[in-house]
Amino acid sequence: MTAPFPSLVRFLVLSLYAPARRATGAAGAKPSAKRIAKTVGIVLLGLLLAGDVGSIFVMMNLTMYEALKPAGLQGLLLLNAATTASALVFILGFLTAISTYCMSAADSGLLALPLRGRSLLGAKMIMVYLSEFAFAFFLVLVAAAIFAIKETPPASFYVGALLTALAVPLAPLAAIYLIVVPLIVGLRPLRSKNATMIIGGAVGMAFAIVFNLYVQGAASRMNDSAWVLANFAGPQALMARLGLAYPPAFLAWKSMTAGGAAGLGYGLASLVLGLAAATLVDFALGGAYARSLLGFDELLVKRVAATKAFIARSFRRRNPLGSLVSREIRLMNREPIYFLNGPFVILLMPVFLAIAAISQKGQLGRLLAQAGGFKSGPGAMLAAAAFGAFLGSATSICCTAVSRDAKALPYLKALPIRYRDLGFAKFLHGFAFALFGSLVGGLGVGAILGLPPVDSAAAFLLALAFSAFTCIAGLWLDTANPRLAWDNPTAALKQNPNSSILILGAMALLGALGALSAFLPWGKLALFAAYFAAFSGLTIAALAAYPRFAEKRFGEIEN
Amino acid sequence: MIKLENLSKTYAKSGTKAVDGLSLEIRDGEIFGFLGPNGAGKTTTIKMLTGVLKPDEGRIEIGGVDMGSDPLAAKSGFGLVGDNPELFNKLRAREYLNFVADVYLVPDGLRRERVSSLASRFKIEDVLSSSIGSFSRGMKQKLCVVASLLHDPAAWILDEPMVGLDPQAAFDLKELMRERAASGKLVLFSTHVMEVAERICDRIAIINKGRILFIGTIPELRAREGEIGDSLESLFLELVEDSDEAALR
Ligand SMILES: Nc1ncnc2c1ncn2[C@@H]1O[C@H](COP(=O)(O)OP(=O)(O)O)[C@@H](O)[C@H]1O
Ligand SMILES: [Mg+2]
């Protein structure tokens, strides 16, 4: 017999993270060469993407190291890493905690088992901790590696770094549930799971925005050495005060820099304190958590007499393709986890953009004035286009469209619908949001930068061509390799490799194009024409080839 | 009329041979029961018949249309109640019904008429504006039944339709099956309960491990097993057991 708590943790972790396992075939069957090639390809792509994103962090840390070194303050790099990791882990963890608060099917089943509230909450916290740890580990690793290469610290440093990575997510985790559980309990009178999740998501986003503003503010001043010295040097410096105000980061920093037994002591202390905080929250709120799950899925049953007028009003014919598209939109927007990770990002981004623009107005004005030629050259137009393209491809709509629909596929396939139309409806759904993102990015950023209208329009068109391409590429990917077996909708979107491949791939592609544009000696018009032709050409070609592929592929899917 | 010729299917992922050389002919105007224990291959057969799964071998014809060569026309010829009513929990009942009717190109007048009569027949007429997620399993099942008949298909195919229905709804459903058969339409449904098949089927097929063990009427089944007085349930169990033993040998 296994104790209930460990097996509960195992159950939750598997239900969230376990990759879609293929049913085991005949014993000892050899994996085909094609399978192996595919796996190798995916691993390579993953490494490439991780390297791409990793390089951003590496650059940030390197810049910071160079700025701090002259003052002999390079150790603060580590404090910064611990603080940044804590904040990022808090934001990401907050969203994960909200979206996994009640994993409907799994959790209502668990409630019927003789388990204590604190076991339920504890298991869920561990589940969230795992992904946070992976993230914190990555961030601390980058800073620690740079520090290690430049400074060759003693061995105790590495132990300290590992303890830090383990401890960093704990305090945020405790804080997250300290906020989330009362928040959801408080929102219960709304009696609406959707409203609750969306308000929760908005709160999470608000934290993200505040943090982002802080980072932007700090980043824009990193080159100002007077500011750096004022804020980082001396006991009254900002970072030191921040570290003291947030003891876990201070302890983490000390555990890496104090060296020897002292370092180990600090590291263990931070681990113990973090564990204590998380356990305290678990014990204090476990009961409230379990109670809040009861009836979380409750829905309002509307009773309306089916009068003739009601029937006439409610039942009206529509073009099948339109009906397919509106089905896609409804199914996405009404599942809070999908909504928060998809359309919500794009809808909130303009708000975010406006805040950033207003708060950085002076800075921006100065920059633009300094770079006189920038506004009229290709750089500003491309920047607006890149932002629009990023937004337009950020919703994960197309690259998870088939996976999200996995359960309904057997039914849909029995209806007289051409598979290509099913796929095309999914494309149109994603494209509508791509259009919106491109508008906000292209025209919005164009306006902030004060671009001439023609340039803004060009930026919009470029963004649209790029994001349309990511839509069809994502749809193709998810049609070819959908995630069909899942019991929690999160799995279809967040644990869907297609979504990570596409979002990171789009970012990498944008980065590469940025570098290419800096390198090419072309003017605005030539760059616009080349990129627009390339991406709209690719999109049209893929759209033209998709129907044949869809007819074949949907026919083959067995689920 | 539905014709299945020599259908076989092995699931690629599990390597299970779910259906093995199955042939059947179902005539217009009859209620045909497709009977077998869990895992016999009923759902797999229905999925192939409805174009959801591609058979490895064999041919499917619905109302004279070949599923392989003209799937859209073949699919327009039947209405399906699948084995899983947990599909569109996020949609409202009327949104779902409209979607299905749009796909089958049902005009406004007929659509309203059929929704009214079917929904009131199955007593879900006052919850059409509610989210399907708020329905009980039985209500979802009833909604799927209503949706499957919006285009008044010539063939009606149901996979384990009695599961989750209360006695009244099960009675209403059987009644509707009889009506449709009486008006010359075809009804095919699967079940693992002999008693259900015994009551209303004109003919049945018993299947186990993807193969047909028996096709014919209930009296024919009794005659074949010879022993009068034995319940059909035990005849069914004996047949299945014999085929399990044969497979082991
Ligand atoms: N999607 C699937 N993938 C792999 N094997 C399956 C799948 N669906 C069913 N099977 C297997 O096919 C056989 C027949 O299943 P099914 O047709 O669902 O039986 P029934 O509906 O009669 O209970 C079973 O052995 C089952 O395990
Ligand atoms: Mg079945």
pLDDT digits (tens, 9 = 90+) for A294-331: 766 666 666 777 788 888 888 999 999 999 999 999 99
pLDDT, position A25:
39
Chain B nearest-CA residue for A326: B99
pLDDT band for position A29 (cuts 50, 70, 90): very low
Whether pLDDT at A130 is above 60: yes
Residue A540 has pLDDT above 90, yes or no: yes
More confident residue, A50 or A131: A131
> φ and ψ at B159, to 5 degrees?
-100, 110
- Residue owning the nearest CA to atom 21 of ligand 1: B43
Of A474, A466, A468, nearest to A499 by C-alpha is A474
Three-state secondary structure call for residue A308 = helix
Nearest protein Cα to ligand 1, atom 19: B39
pLDDT at B73: 94
Complex ipTM value: 0.93
Nearest C-alpha neighbor of B94 from the set B132, B145, B151: B132
Is residue B195 very low, low, confident or very high in pLDDT (cuts 50, 70, 90)?
confident
Residue A548 to chain B, least CA–CA distance (Å)? 15
**Token pair in block for residue B37:** 């224990």
Mean pLDDT of A8-16: 71
Q: How far apart are CA B30 and CA A515, in angstroms?
A: 70
Given a contact cutoff of 8 angstroms between Cβ atoms, the answer to whether A377 and A528 are in contact is: no
Which pairing describes strands B31-35 and B186-191: parallel, antiparallel, or unpaired? parallel
> Coil, helix or strand for B157?
strand
pLDDT band at B121 (very low <50, low <70, confident <90, very high): very high
Q: Return the structure tokens found at B170.
A: 């099960």
If one compares A3 and A153, the residue with the highest pLDDT of the two is A153
Coil, helix or strand at residue A187: helix
Q: Quote the pLDDT of residue A177.
A: 92
Lowest mean pLDDT segment, chosen from A15-29, A483-497, B12-26: A15-29
Cβ-based contacts of A300 with chain B (< 8 Å) = 130-131, 134
What pLDDT, on the 0 to 100 scale, is given for residue A21?
46
Chain B neighbors of A314, CB-CB under 8 A: 94, 98, 128-129
Q: Is the pLDDT of residue A220 over 80?
A: no
The pLDDT of residue A1 = 41
Stated as kind and residue range, the H or E segment containing A396 is none
Query: Which one of A315, A411, A418 has the shortest CB-CB distance to B111?
Result: A315
Task: Phi first, then psi: give them for residue B214, nearest 5 degrees.
Answer: -155, 140
Query: A191 CB near a chain B CB, below 8 Å?
Result: no
Most distant CA atoms of chain B, gap in Å: 60
For residue A168, what pLDDT band results from cuts at 50, 70 and 90? Answer: confident
Place of tokens 């879900």: B124
Q: What is the pLDDT of residues A246-283, one digit of tens each?
A: 778 778 878 887 777 888 888 888 899 999 999 999 99
Touching A: B residues 124-143, CB under 8 Å: 125-131, 133-134
Which residues from A are below 8 Å from B88, CB to CB? 331, 408
Averaged confidence pLDDT in chain A: 79
Tokens of A204: 């999470």
- Share of residues in chain A with pLDDT > 70 (%): 75
- Look at residue A356 in the predicted model and tell me its pLDDT: 62
**What is the band of A197 on the pLDDT scale with cuts at 50, 70, 90?**
confident
* Window from A222-231, B59-68, B154-163 with minimum mean pLDDT: A222-231
By CA distance, what is B136's nearest residue in A? A301
d(CA A56, CA A239): 22
Is B195 within 8 Å of B233 (Cβ atoms)?
yes
Among A292-306, A413-427, B167-181, B209-223, whose mean pLDDT is lowest? Answer: A292-306
Shortest CA gap B248–chain A (Å) = 18
Residues of A in contact with B86 (CB under 8 A): 407
pLDDT higher for A155 or A473?
A473
pLDDT of the residue at A277: 93
| CB-CB neighbours of A511 under 10 Å | 15
Mean of the per-residue pLDDT values for chain B? 90
| pLDDT given for residue A50 in this prediction | 61
C-alpha B121 to ligand 2 mean position (Å): 26
Specify the pLDDT at position B4.
95
Q: Cβ of A323 and B125 within 8 Å?
A: no
Is the pLDDT confidence value at B99 over 70? yes
Which H/E stretch holds residue A82? helix A76-99
Tell me the chain A residues in contact with residue B53 when contact means C-beta distances shorter than 8 Å: 558
Show the ligand 1 pocket: residues with CB < 6 angstroms: A 23, 558-559; B 11, 13-14, 16, 18, 36, 38-44
State yes or no: pLDDT of A52 exceeds 60. Answer: no
Share of chain B above pLDDT 70, in %: 96
A63 versus B212: the higher-pLDDT residue is B212
Report the range of poorest mean pLDDT among A428-442, A504-518, A531-545, B77-91. Answer: A504-518
Q: What is the mean pLDDT of residues B46-50?
A: 95
Q: Which of A304, A327, A556 sits opposite B126 (nearest CB)?
A: A304
Distance A535 CA to ligand 1 centre (A): 44
Q: Comparing A398 with B199, which gets the higher pLDDT?
A: A398
The closest of A268, A275, A281, A277 to A164, measured between CA atoms, is A268
Q: Which of B112, B140, B141, B148 to mutate to test the interface with A (most CBs of A within 10 A)?
A: B112
**Which listed ligand is nearest to A485 at the C-alpha?**
1
User: What's the confidence (pLDDT) of residue A232?
Assistant: 59
For residue A550, give the nearest of A480, A492, A499 by alpha carbon: A480
Chain B: give the shortest CA distance to residue A7, in Å.
27
Task: Tell me the backbone φ, ψ of residue B117, rounded to 5 degrees.
Answer: -70, -40
CB–CB of B116 and A330 under 8 A?
no
| Residue of B19, B88, B102, B136 for testing the chain A interface, max A β-carbons within 10 Å | B102
**Percent of all residues in chain A with a pLDDT value above 90, rounded to a whole number:** 24
Is residue A416 within 8 angstroms of chain B, CB to CB? yes
- The single-letter DSSP state of residue A23 is P
Alpha-carbon span B212 to B243, nearest angstrom:
10
Write phi, then psi, for A296 (nearest 5 degrees): -65, -30
Could you give phi then psi for residue B219, rounded to 5 degrees? -60, -35
The pLDDT score that the predictor gives to residue A201 is 75
Mean local confidence (pLDDT), A111-123: 80
More confident residue, A391 or B65: B65
Per residue in A335-363, pLDDT (tens digit) is 877 887 778 777 766 766 666 666 666 66
Q: Cβ of A331 under 8 Å from any chain B Cβ?
A: yes
Q: How confident is the model at residue A31 (pLDDT cuts 50, 70, 90)?
A: low
Check whether A74 has a pLDDT greater than 80.
no
Q: At residue B59, does pLDDT exceed 80?
A: yes
pLDDT mean over B195-204: 90
Cross-strand pairs, B79: B156
pLDDT score of A26: 40
pLDDT of A104 strictly over 60: no
Res B196 pLDDT > 80: yes
Distance B16 CA to ligand 1 centre (A): 8
pLDDT at position A51: 62
Query: Quick one: pLDDT band at residue A396, thresholds 50, 70, 90?
Result: confident
* A303 lies within 8 A of chain B by CB: yes
Of A23, A311, A312, the CB nearest to B13: A23
What is the pTM for the complete model shown? 0.78
Instruction: Round to whole Å and give the CA distance between B193 and B233.
Output: 8
